Amino acid sequence: MNMNDAPLLIEDKGLTIAGKTYRSRLLVGSGKYKDLDETRAATVASGAEIITVAIRRVNIGQDPNAPSLLDAVPPSEFTILPNTAGCYNAADAVYTLQLARELLGGHKLVKLEVLGDEKTLFPNMPETLKAAETLVKDGFDVMVYCSDDPIQARMLEDLGVAAVMPLASLIGSGMGILNPWNLSLIIEQARVPVLVDAGVGTASDAAIAMELGCDGVLMNTAIAGARDPIRMARAMKLAVEAGREAFLAGRIPRKFAASPSSPMAGRVA
């Protein structure tokens, strides 16, 4: 073998959700950017193929020709993931996604989140389960924001959701991966993709999530709220890739003992 030939690495097979495979394991939100140009630039820099959007009432009387989000990140280029952010019960969440499906021409892949209260934005799991059941029966492919509780995650899986997305810490908090053990329990048992949704603050948080064996990471504030969102988007892309590679490579076990990296034999000392 020529010394200049890099050994062939087995390529990551990609992230498959509801039968479609994506190269990028980073999903991004489109909220909190200063304008649509920045939204687009950061999304492109992140390498993400799936981008979440919110569904809201049109402001009547506002210039109907103002540029819209879907012009900046068109469905021809990205997989649009409509979410139910701001919904506090199952009925509102289902209604929001029925509108989204019509808006996006019959699009089935959606993100369900049913919140419990405004202080924590923690998921209301009984309402989340209720909405998930209705949506699955109605033919939606449902990715679900959920608590990091392996039992609730299994209940969602049993309903037939497309992915479970436990929070790593509170939405928008940037507190990082606070309970890696719970995430590990969910990952270990899961038969559908597990994505960390919420809580990532910086690149190392995303890498840790991927090293744990998560199938992907969804984030918004960590990128949009950074001093330089476009640079942070690239950092997150690299972190998700690095974390995935490290997971596939298999880390060394932790041990409380030193082990020299250089051979002892042949020392001049």
Partner 1 sequence: MQIELNGKPHPLPDGATLDQLIAGLSLAGKAVAVAVNRQVVPSAQWPARALAEADKVDVVRAIGGG
Query: Which residues are identified as catalytic?
Result: 111
Which among 6-14, 54-62, 175-183, 248-256 is the span making contact with partner 1, rule CB under 8 A? 54-62
Does residue 82 interact with partner 1 by CB under 8 A? yes
Phi, psi dihedrals of residue 42, rounded to the nearest 5°: -70, -40
- Give residue 193's Cα distance to chain centre: 10
Which among 11-19, 212-220, 230-238, 244-252 is the span making contact with partner 1, rule CB under 8 A? 212-220
- Report the run of H or E that residue 104 belongs to, with start and end: none
Q: Which of 35, 23, 106 is nearest to 71 (CA)?
A: 35
Applying the rule CB under 8 A, the residues between 131 and 150 that interact with partner 1 are none
Does residue 39 interact with partner 1 by CB under 8 A? yes
Phi, psi dihedrals of residue 26, rounded to the nearest 5°: -105, 125
Closer to partner 1 by Cβ: residue 155 or 214:
214
Spatial distance between the Cα atoms of 104 and 97, rounded to a whole number of angstroms:
10
Does residue 178 interact with partner 1 by CB under 8 A? no
Nearest distance, CB of residue 100 and partner 1, angstroms? 7
Does residue 85 interact with partner 1 by CB under 8 A? yes
Which among 94-102, 124-132, 209-217, 233-241 is the span making contact with partner 1, rule CB under 8 A? 94-102
Does residue 30 interact with partner 1 by CB under 8 A? yes
Closer to partner 1 by Cβ: residue 57 or 191:
57
Count of residues touching partner 1 (by CB under 8 A): 37
Scanning the structure block, which residue is given the tokens 């890696």? 180
Spatial distance between the Cα atoms of 231 and 116, rounded to a whole number of angstroms:
33
- Report the run of H or E that residue 49 belongs to, with start and end: none
Spatial distance between the Cα atoms of 104 and 86, rounded to a whole number of angstroms:
20
DSSP state of 127: H
Burial class (CB in 10 A: 0-12, 13-18, 19+), 166: buried
Which among 1-9, 65-73, 188-196, 248-256 is the span making contact with partner 1, rule CB under 8 A? 65-73
Does residue 54 interact with partner 1 by CB under 8 A? yes
- HSE value, Cβ hemisphere, 13 Å, CA-based, for 40: 13
Classify strands 20-22 and 195-197 as parallel, antiparallel or unpaired.
Answer: unpaired
Closer to partner 1 by Cβ: residue 96 or 124:
96
Binding residue for partner 1, selected from 25, 33, 46, 115, defined by CB under 8 A: 33
Sign, CA torsion 164/196/36/62: positive
Closer to partner 1 by Cβ: residue 83 or 134:
83
> Which stretches of the chain bind partner 1, using CB under 8 A?
29-33, 39, 52-58, 60, 64-65, 68-70, 80, 82-83, 85, 95, 98-104, 171-172, 218-221
